[in-house]
Amino acid sequence: MAKSEYLLEMKNVSKTFPGVHALDDVSFACKHGEVHALMGENGAGKSTLMKILCGAYKHDQGQIFIDGKEVTIENPRQAQDLGITIIYQEFNLIPYLDVAENIFLGREPLKKSGIVDYKTMYKKAQDLLDLIGINLELKRWVCELSVAEQQIVEICKAISFDSKIVVMDEPSSALTEEEVGQLFKVIKRLQKQGILVIYITHRIKEIYQIADRVTVLKDGKMVTSDDIKKLDQKALVRAMVGRTLDILFPEKGKGGSDTLLEVKNLVREGVLKNVSLEVKKGEIVGLAGLIGSGRTEVVRAIFGVDSIDAGDIYIAGIKKNIKKPSHAVANGIGLVPEDRKRQGLVLCLTVRNNIVLSILERIKRFFFTDRKQEIIVSKDLISKLDIKTPSLDADVEHLSGGNQQKVVLAKWLAANPQLVIFDEPTRGIDVGAKAEIHKLMRVLAENGAGVLMISSELPEVLGMSDRVYVMCEGELVGHFSGEEMTEENIMTAAVGICK
């Protein structure tokens, strides 16, 4: 029998959840040894399609073919047996086991006596690392590894199943540019082994660097599937969101003259060194730098999450002693954190419950909150921010990433803050939702609030910021505005050349 042109074919796949048509007659095909990008807005159906492929969901209609042969996939074990593995955005690793133990967890090679054959296990683990061209200490605990190194462990675990197909879900979302380059080298090596890599990302620039072909889903339907060279970025965005996004970043404002936040000589032993910065009313200030440069530590100190050893924080010219988040909130500061699921939301609560978290004291009646006020506040903000939710009382965990981010923002808008801090405001959300978040940030500034923004994406830093501070190894090493605010200047400072 002749070898099929496609390693994977999913034909006319449909899937319905209560009240939601997640996939509608979707066909998806990938060739042997290619990198195939799967793109679309949050809620487009990408995750549902891949969960069907990996056995987490059962499709209602449709067929799946591997190498031209129809297969049945009813659970993850069947998918693994067919050579299909998925690396989720949130890794599935055991922190206090070492690299080799994580790779072969539950499948450890055994001696005749029934005990683990560690010599064989470490040999097999080293063979996998050699296969993808990476050096990693096999006996290091996973909790000691960087995010990029943990990802390598997940990749080794995936190919240890003799995988033909590896699905990567937002693999670069928490990586530096250097680490992304390393990831791409690993993917290229997987290609050389004949492995199909399905690459899910919101970062359009990346797919032009790594993908051979791209498939776009929208509202549960397949919009286009073609060679990446045949689609320019504007055509790709139009396919994803159904419109052009000529203005991904809104027009910049005029800023203000009144200083809202002033940080003087902030010190945290071993972390921050004499950090000083200011944010004026009506402006967006970027805080740039590589991961580990101290950006997040600065805003955690301002918000009272971490204690400081020295330094002063002023709000509207008045010195404030902010020792915990409740002090920050009382002084008109809101924080949209990097990890919205763990730090910004209570996933087991409803949209309404999450929105009013910052104003519980204000709407409290004796020992209970005023439900009528909860509904009024929530409805108003859901409308203003165009949050897509089935109802006020829908569980927030079931919303798309972009809508979850809007709920976090709504929570702080309810408190009417003077200063809003955004830590990676658009990480893991689609291009359409990014544009909406950017617009909301600019509206905040135009209404007189100050905005301090951390972002690892230089186009976002340059597109949104009125001024930019740059950090390196816990120090502020650059401050740029106007024509000086260029990608080259920011990166030069971020890597320490200006120190």
Q: Is residue 51 part of a domain?
A: yes
- Residues 416, 217: Cα–Cα separation, whole Å: 37
Q: Is residue 254 part of a domain?
A: no
Both 89 and 226 in one domain: the answer is yes
CA distances (Å), origin 332, targets 84, 169, 316: 50, 37, 11
CATH number for the domain spanning 171: value is: 3.40.50.300
Q: Is residue 18 part of a domain?
A: yes
Both 219 and 315 in one domain: the answer is no
* Domain end position, chosen among 182, 212, 241: 241
Q: Is residue 499 part of a domain?
A: no
Both 29 and 151 in one domain: the answer is yes
**Both tokens of residue 195?**
């492995």
- Residues 255, 423: Cα–Cα separation, whole Å: 20
Both 175 and 303 in one domain: the answer is no
Task: Give, for all 499 residues of the chain, the pLDDT tens digit.
Answer: 456 789 999 999 999 876 668 899 999 999 999 999 998 876 788 889 999 999 999 999 999 999 999 999 999 999 999 999 988 877 788 999 999 999 999 889 999 898 999 999 999 999 988 888 888 899 999 998 887 788 888 888 888 888 899 998 888 766 667 778 888 888 898 898 899 999 998 778 888 999 999 999 988 899 999 999 998 887 887 787 665 545 568 888 777 779 999 999 999 998 999 999 999 999 999 999 877 788 989 999 999 999 999 999 999 999 999 999 989 989 999 998 887 888 888 888 999 999 998 888 888 777 788 888 888 999 998 988 888 888 888 999 888 877 888 898 889 888 888 999 999 888 777 777 788 889 888 988 998 899 999 988 788 888 899 999 999 889 999 999 989 998 888 878 887 655 4
Q: Is residue 246 part of a domain?
A: no
Chain position carrying tokens 């990097």? 338
Distance of CA 254 to the CA centre of its chain: 30
Closest CA to 7 of 229, 222, 194, 214: 194
Q: Is residue 218 part of a domain?
A: yes
Both 336 and 396 in one domain: the answer is yes
Both 483 and 423 in one domain: the answer is yes
Both 382 and 449 in one domain: the answer is yes
Both 274 and 237 in one domain: the answer is no
Contact 36, 199 (CB under 8 A): yes
Both 32 and 61 in one domain: the answer is yes
Which structural domain, as residue segments, surrounds residue 208?
Answer: 6-241
Contact 429, 452 (CB under 8 A): no
* Domain end position, chosen among 211, 241, 271: 241
Both 301 and 411 in one domain: the answer is yes
Count the residues in the chain.
Answer: 499
- Residues 159, 85: Cα–Cα separation, whole Å: 8
**Which residues are bridge partners to 479 per DSSP?**
469
Q: Is residue 248 part of a domain?
A: no
* Domain end position, chosen among 177, 211, 241: 241
Both 312 and 215 in one domain: the answer is no
| Strands 20-31, 6-17: pairing kind | antiparallel
> Helix 147-159 to helix 177-192 angle, to the nearest 10 degrees?
10
What's this model's pTM, rounded to 2 decimal places? 0.61
Both 144 and 14 in one domain: the answer is yes
- Residues 442, 446: Cα–Cα separation, whole Å: 6
Total tally of structural domains belonging to the chain: 2
CA angle 383-389-393, nearest 5°?
A: 100
Residue 8 neighbours by CB under 8 Å, 6+ apart: 28, 29, 30, 53, 64, 65, 66, 165, 196
Ramachandran area for residue 111 (φ above 0: left; ψ -120 to 50: alpha; else beta): beta
- Residues 252, 463: Cα–Cα separation, whole Å: 8
Q: Is residue 317 part of a domain?
A: yes
Residue 118 neighbours by CB under 8 Å, 6+ apart: 100
